[in-house]
Amino acid sequence: MSSHAYPADLKSVKNEVTYPAANDGQTAEWLEALDQVIDADGPQEASQLLLALLNRAAQAGVATPLQHNTPYINTIPPDQQVAFPGDRVLEQRIESLIRSNALAMVARANKYDENIGGHMSSFASLATLLEVGFNHFFRGSIGDLAGDLIYFQGHSSPGIYARAYLEGRLTQQHLFNFRHELREQPGLSSYPHPWLMPEFWQFPTVSMGLGPINAIYQARFIKYLENRGMVPVSDRKVWAFLGDGEQDEPESRGALTVATREGLDNLIFVINCNLQRLDGPVRGNGRIIQELEANFLGAGWNVIKCLWGSNWDDLLARDTSGLLLRRMSECVDGEYQAFKALGGAYLREHFFGKYPELLKSVEGMSDDDLATLSRGGHDPVKIYNAYKRATEHQGAPTVILAKTIKGYGLGDAAEGRNFAHNTKKLKDEQLAYIVKRFEMDVPEEKIDHLELHHPGPESDEIKYLKQRREELGGYLPSRNSHKELAFAAPALDIFKDVLEGTKGRAASTTSGFNAVLNALLKQKELAKYIVPIIPDEGRTFGMEALFRQIGIYASHGQLYTPVDSNQFLYYRESQDGQLIEEGITEAGSMATFTAAGTAYANFGMPMIPFFVYYSMFGFQRVGDLAWAFADARGKGFMVGGTAGRTTLLGEGLQHEDGHSHVLASTIPTCAAYDPAYAYEIAVIIQDGLRRMYEAKEDLFYYLTVYNENYVQPPMPNDVEPGILKGLYRFKSAETAEAIVHLFGSGPILNEAVRAQHILKAKYSIDADVWSATSYSELRRDALACERWNRLHPAGPSRTPYLLQVLEGHDGPIVAASDYMKIMVDGLAPWLPGRITALGTDGFGRSENREYLRRHFEVDAESITVAAISSLARIQKVPLEMVADAMADLGVDPNKPDAARA
């Protein structure tokens, strides 16, 4: 029997490999022949032989069994391992110091600040996986090029801080202020948050599921930049350390085939399979590792299982009958959890004791010996070999399924216990056990008082630790905002055609946005940085010209002749294409937006993403990713197309967006605008480029654009400040001073203009029309002024821009938009009794714009009635005029409220 494979004689186990009985003579001959091939020519040749046999069987009509899994053992057998290159003793001492300080940091925080929180058990299970990476694989730089990008498992942050303390990058005071970010001394954020620690953390990962999808699209973005010639081709890797419970999030596994389709051999997932989520087992009645292996193998990933530590090797080598492997394969995860939590005697009785032959195989081992049988994710040799093979693999991404124990080494305080995630404090005897377990060289008094321990810069441990990081190109995690990047925003006059309007021709604001984008793409120095991103609606948004103009990115080029190749604007895919068309995945598109929008930090390159999508399927679908984008200090433009609950006609309830601006307003760094005209879009985008890339402000933009065609007017004089601040007077009353003011945004501004005409023509009421480009920006400015005045009562008060621009313009205000009334209501505190909100609260309908706007009461007639009603309430017009106007204009006061209809 070959030494390259673990022998086995197993019955079929659900979701497991089915092994044939070896007592059949013919089968035995085949197995012997296979062993000879392995010994003579190696595993690769044997694999090719098996593939050839399967193909021949298929040609002959033989049904071949579909194998979802490999055996429940390490992918790399002992005879294929290379020697561990590091100093095992020193690395163990460093790891013990990090474990000690991480525990002390969390326990101390909760001792002096009850229930401040923090996590011990996740890092306890992950520590060795990370330390092998830090000492041998994670590169801070690659020569003159940027180094690896690492997505750290969010709950492991205490260990990352503890290592940075030994490295000298964080002080003792930092660690004492863990989860105390608002004290006089500097503190540490609970989890990886670039917004809170902008020179340390690169990626926010603790919202589970976001790390995997962002890592995939980050790795793809590296290939995108390489294929476009923007960065040199390098061996840069993207590592993502993930939890096994986290894999139940749709974002975790939803994009796996993207990584294989794109050939992302620069991507490595390390899934920390400690078999537990927050409350209990991930798959108590199953095997999460085998489930994940089947998923990743099916998606085409290179799968490396790292399940058993080196002290299992001898037992497996002596398992000539395959009984041990059979026992390993039949146990479910709930049992494996108990095997570690309940000690060596329990393991002997309940694991080995099921079969007398297995029990006999460990009769020379004590219960303590059995208790120390380790799992692969805690064995540096096994981990090193898994990482080495992963980094050398070509043509596909790799996932390492590392079996670990949650709360590893914490004994009855957490190890393998269902409450492990909530362990935040340790008793004295528990601390003593941990110190003994890891042979921690930490003074006893420091342990007793939960103090940190640093052996000093001249100690062997610290010199070794720093030497390894120096050889690997620098410290990680580390984030560089590249404030030195030179960038000059283009002048507004490059949008001259847009600013002059359409000269009587009807056009949508979507086409206006496209004109702005095209103007940017004509700027030689700027164009290369622009990254248009579209899920799958390019033609809907009138962007098909980009297919030919800049090409659609395709990592393998275009391997076919497109069906429309005889047309000028054919579907052109190219390896150096600039447009990223993701397909129908807003989450994937948002992950690409994130990679591009943080490229200034990760690549030192001011990439400018424009993510254009169906507005309804934006924030409500990718809200968590958008929040993480803000946390990551992302920059760029999100553009919600086919926007508006009444402007997108015909599509109905699921498609008509009337609330994306409400959702956008919840993100502190998102500047959201609802422009009515193309010139407003030009002003907003030009200033956005200036603020984000020239002035280096950490914010991003959301713009809504529409598919309604109407004449785009030329830009009036001196309106740029008002456009950016959120409000300006668009059209004054023609013959007298206005007694009522009509706010409009998006296409509803045209309804306000029409209402202005009706008011004057039918009722002799003069009104001003105002373009409200951003209610959220108006509110933020007003809140900032209010706060200043509250905290500085003795100083000169500040006046919100809203009140400045309305100074001298008295009278009621009717504000209408294609969005929910809550947007307008946010201004009410500064306009008490003056403002009436009209909006699109409620579900959409399949109808044309005329009927939709009447249904939601945002058409010109409803605006007119609201204006007259507001004037009647302050006795500026007779009360009877309201009823007359409703009758004249066909506004039914008894129709159902659209908000509940």
Q: Which two tokens stand for residue 174?
A: 């930092």
Q: What distance in Å separates the CA atoms of residue 821 and residue 815, rounded to the nearest whole number?
A: 9
- Cβ proximity of 742 and 752 under 8 Å: yes
Q: What distance in Å separates the CA atoms of residue 425 and residue 431, rounded to the nearest whole number?
A: 10
Q: Are strands 530-534 and 580-581 parallel, antiparallel or unpaired?
A: parallel
Q: What distance in Å separates the CA atoms of residue 655 and residue 648, rounded to the nearest whole number?
A: 8
The CB-side HSE value for 611 (13 A sphere, CA atoms) comes to: 32
φ/ψ bin of 857: left (φ > 0), alpha (ψ from -120 to 50), beta (otherwise):
left
- Cβ proximity of 840 and 645 under 8 Å: yes
- Cβ proximity of 273 and 288 under 8 Å: yes
Residue 276 annotated as binding site: yes
Q: What's the distance, Cα to Cα, between the start and end of the chain in Å?
A: 75
Phi/psi at 848 (nearest 5 deg)?
A: -90, 175
- Cβ proximity of 282 and 333 under 8 Å: yes
Q: What distance in Å separates the CA atoms of residue 295 and residue 253, rounded to the nearest whole number?
A: 8
Residue 274 annotated as binding site: yes
- Cβ proximity of 631 and 207 under 8 Å: no
Q: Which two tokens stand for residue 549?
A: 């103009």
Q: Any bridge partners for residue 838, and if so which?
A: 816
Q: Name every residue whose Cβ is closer than 8 Å to that of residue 434 and which is 6 or more positions away in sequence.
A: 99, 100, 103, 409, 410, 411, 413, 426, 440
Helix ranges restricted to H, 168-299: 172-176, 210-227, 250-253, 256-261, 288-298
Q: What's the chain's length in residues?
A: 901
- Cβ proximity of 770 and 742 under 8 Å: yes
Burial state string for 417-439 with b = 16 or more CB within 10 A and e = fewer than 16: bbebbebbbbeeebbebbbebbe
The CB-side HSE value for 415 (13 A sphere, CA atoms) comes to: 16
Q: Which of 476, 397, 482 is nearest to 215 (CA)?
A: 397
Q: What distance in Å separates the CA atoms of residue 391 and residue 234, rounded to the nearest whole number?
A: 13
Q: Are strands 267-273 and 238-243 parallel, antiparallel or unpaired?
A: parallel
Q: What distance in Å separates the CA atoms of residue 76 and residue 733, rounded to the nearest whole number?
A: 80
Burial state string for 220-244 with b = 16 or more CB within 10 A and e = fewer than 16: bbbbbbbbbeebeeeebbbbbbbbb
Question: Given the structure tokens 């290159």, which residue do they identify?
Answer: 85
CA geometry: angle 810, 814, 820, nearest 5 deg: 140
> Dihedral of the CA atoms 18, 19, 25, 27 (nearest 10)?
70
- Binding-site residues sit at 244, 274, 276
- Binding-site residues for Mg(2+) sit at 244, 274, 276
